[in-house]
Amino acid sequence: MNRIISLNPGDKAVVERYAQGIDRAYKLKLLALGLTPGTEFTLIKTSPFGDPIEIELRGYRLSLRRHEAEGVLCSQ
């Protein structure tokens, strides 16, 4: 099981599940935005300062902070 924090630009990954203790409001928003279990996404790039990151999923782009997205467990 991988965490978003360890992905590099260009890497693809699939959402496996959400970690147990994750903030529910945060999880609900990510789910609404399409980051449902089974969804593939690509890490496009990082901000010039290294964080946040930009990912592509379902044909659009989303940006998240690495450490906040830690609760999104994925596989490569």
Partner 1 sequence: MLTIAVAGNPNCGKSALFNLLAEGRQKVGNWPGVTVDKKIGMIRHKNLDAKLVDLPGIYALDAWSEDERISRDYLLSGEPEFLLNIIDSTNIERNLYLTTILQEMGVKMLVVLNMIDLAEKNLIGINLEQFEKELGSPVVAVSALRAESKSIIINKIAELLKTENKPQPVPVPSEIENANEEVKDELLAEWRYKRIENIMAKSVKKGIPTYAESDKIDKIVMNKFLGIPLFLLVMYLLFWLTIHISGVFIDFFDIAFGAIFVDGVRHVLTSINTPEVIVSILADGVGAGIQTLSTFLPITFSLFFFIGLLESSGYMARAAFVMDKVMRTMGLPGKAFIPMLIGFGCSVPAIMATRNLENKRDRILSVFMVPFMSCGARLPVYILFTAAFFPNNAQNVIFALYMIGIVLAVATGLLLKGTVYKGSLAPFIMELPQYHTPQIKGAAINAMFRLKAFIKKSGRILIPIIAILGMLNSAGVLPAVGKSIVPVFTPIGISEENWQASVGLFSGLFAKESIIGTMNSLYSQDAEKEQKEEFSLVEKLGEAFVSIAENAKALGTKIKNPLGFESSKEDAYLFDNMRKAFNNSSAAAFAFLLFVLLYVPCLSAVAVAAREVGLVLVILQSLYSTVLGWCLAVIFYQFVEGHSAIRIVEAALILPAMVFGIVFYARKSGRFG
For partner 1, the binding residues (CB under 8 A) are: 17-18, 23-34, 36-39, 45, 47-52, 54, 56, 58-65, 68
Alpha-carbon distance of 13 to 35, in angstroms, equals: 11
CB-wise, 13 or 18, nearer to partner 1? 18
What is the nearest approach in angstroms of partner 1 to the Cβ of residue 76? 20
What is the nearest approach in angstroms of partner 1 to the Cβ of residue 6? 18
Residue 70 three-state SS: helix
CB-wise, 13 or 30, nearer to partner 1? 30
Residue 18 three-state SS: strand
Alpha-carbon distance of 6 to 58, in angstroms, equals: 21
CB-wise, 14 or 28, nearer to partner 1? 28
Rounded to an integer, what is the distance from CA 74 to the centroid of its chain?
8
